[in-house]
Amino acid sequence: MNNRVVNALAAACVSGLLFAAFGGTAGAADPAEQVKDRQQTMKKLGGGMGAVAKFVKNEGATAEDAAKGADAVLAVAKMDPKAIFPEGTAVGVSDSAAKPELWASWGTAQERWSAMRPAAETLEAAIKGGDRAQIAQALGATSKTCGGCHEDFRVKKQ
Ligand code: HEC
């Protein structure tokens, strides 16, 4: 191999490494953006739960609204928690309210996240069934999965 080829290979290697180092996070915005994205995602959960609650309490939401709400919760519950809680987005970054414990106890946090899915599935089934008492119960159970995680891993707003 002549020197020129070696140099070209070395250059290709270096750019490959750079790509590996930075390529993986390409598109993932800065931590402040990631916090904002997470808060938006959480708002979808809140909105979905709110729609079901409005239906249960007979406050103007239709069964269809409730079904859409449960769908929204289920869609978020299916997301990878790693994408929702990227490292380096704990309290201190922008207005993040995520405690550092969430990452320190990642296994527990993941369990909390996974618990939402079956609860939301039960909720969705209850809405399809149309029994308001059953829907209320499933809503309460889903809400507990939110509260459990917030209790441990979310800084209480003053
Ligand atoms: C795995 C843990 C976890 C689960 C499960 C979870 N949350 Fe959260 N939630 C958090 C954390 C952490 C924050 C703080 C996020 C931040 O400020 O960056 C938060 C913030 C929120 C917020 C405030 C968003 C904002 O505008 O700042 C709402 C609303 C919310 N969650 C609703 C819900 C609902 C509804 C559910 C259940 C259907 C749920 N969350 C399930 C951890 C969780």
Taking only the tens place, the pLDDT of each residue in 4-59 is 655 554 554 444 444 444 444 445 579 999 999 999 999 999 999 999 999 999 99
Instruction: Please report the pLDDT score of residue 29 as a whole number.
Output: 73
Which protein residue's CA is at the shortest distance from atom 18 of ligand 1?
96
pLDDT tens digits, one per residue of 59-110? 999 999 999 999 999 999 999 999 999 999 999 999 999 999 999 999 999 9
Can you tell me the distance from the alpha carbon of 128 to that of 94, in angstroms, rounded to the nearest whole number?
40
User: Quick check: 52 and 123 in contact, CB under 8 A?
Assistant: yes
Instruction: Please report the pLDDT score of residue 157 as a whole number.
Output: 74
Is ligand 1 within 6 A of the CB of residue 72?
no
Is ligand 1 within 6 A of the CB of residue 49?
yes
Can you tell me the distance from the alpha carbon of 75 to that of 64, in angstroms, rounded to the nearest whole number?
16
| Percent of the chain with pLDDT strictly greater than 90 | 80
- Please tell me which residue, 131 or 14, carries the higher pLDDT value: 131
Q: Is the pLDDT of residue 116 over 80?
A: yes
Q: Measuring CA to CA, which residue among 109, 107, 127 is closest to residue 49?
A: 127
User: Which ligand 1 atom sits nearest the alpha carbon of residue 43?
Assistant: 29
Is ligand 1 within 6 A of the CB of residue 153?
yes
pLDDT (mean) for 129-139? 97
> What CA–CA distances, in Å, run from 123 to 28, 67, 84?
32, 9, 22
Can you tell me the distance from the alpha carbon of 134 to that of 60, in angstroms, rounded to the nearest whole number?
19
Residue with the two structure tokens 């509260």: 147
Tokens of 24: 């993986």
Can you tell me the distance from the alpha carbon of 35 to that of 102, in angstroms, rounded to the nearest whole number?
14
Can you tell me the distance from the alpha carbon of 85 to that of 109, in angstroms, rounded to the nearest whole number?
10
Is ligand 1 within 6 A of the CB of residue 76?
no
User: Quick check: 112 and 149 in contact, CB under 8 A?
Assistant: yes
